[in-house]
């Protein structure tokens, strides 16, 4: 078993000396007193808490913000207008939405939305 000599005292491990030279945060060290068992070894630098956020958690935060933004946008939309509903109902009855021109326009708009979602 190797022994170190520090200040003329043989110690089995230098870390024992370190424990006696440090105190807990906020404690006063009095002459001849030893810190409590398990006291942190500090070298004049305060320790800070650290948290790491995963990519999945970041994505969930982004999705939550998107949902909240969508809800806010929906809340700002005007109420249902009966005259507009009647107009759309007439177009449905006449087959307006079955025309090739309308279908192409709808398809183009959907593709624009899909492409916008795929862009980073």
Q: Tell me: the pLDDT tens digits for 61-94?
A: 999 999 999 999 999 988 888 999 999 999 999 9
Sequence-ordered list of residues with C-beta below 8 angstroms from that of 18, at least 6 positions apart, any chain: 41
CA distance 72 to 20: 59
Token pair, residue 65, equals 């913000």
Domain assignment of residue 48, yes or no: no
One domain, residues 59 and 87:
yes
pLDDT of residue 33 exceeding 70, the answer is: no
* Domain that includes residue 18, residue range: 1-42
φ, ψ dihedrals at 105, nearest 5°: -60, -45
φ, ψ dihedrals at 86, nearest 5°: -65, -40
pLDDT of residue 8 exceeding 70, the answer is: no
Looking at the structure of the chain, the number of domains it has is 2
One domain, residues 30 and 64:
no
Domain assignment of residue 89, yes or no: yes
One domain, residues 70 and 101:
yes
pTM (predicted TM-score):
0.32
Question: What does the H/E/C string look like for 99-118?
Answer: CHHHHHHHHHHHHHHHHHHH
Residue located via tokens 């105190």: 23
């Amino acid at each position: 078993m190797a022994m170190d000599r520090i200040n003329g005292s043989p110690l089995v491990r230098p870390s024992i000396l370190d424990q006696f030279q440090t105190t807990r945060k906020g404690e006063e060290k009095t002459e001849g007193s030893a810190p409590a068992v398990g006291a942190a070894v500090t070298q004049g630098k305060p320790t800070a808490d650290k948290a790491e956020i995963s990519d999945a958690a970041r994505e969930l935060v982004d999705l939550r913000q998107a949902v909240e933004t969508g809800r806010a946008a929906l809340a700002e939309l005007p109420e249902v207008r009966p005259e507009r509903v009647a107009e759309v109902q007439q177009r449905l009855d006449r087959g307006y939405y079955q025309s090739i021109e309308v279908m192409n326009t709808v398809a183009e708009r959907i593709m624009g939305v899909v492409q916008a979602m795929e862009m980073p």
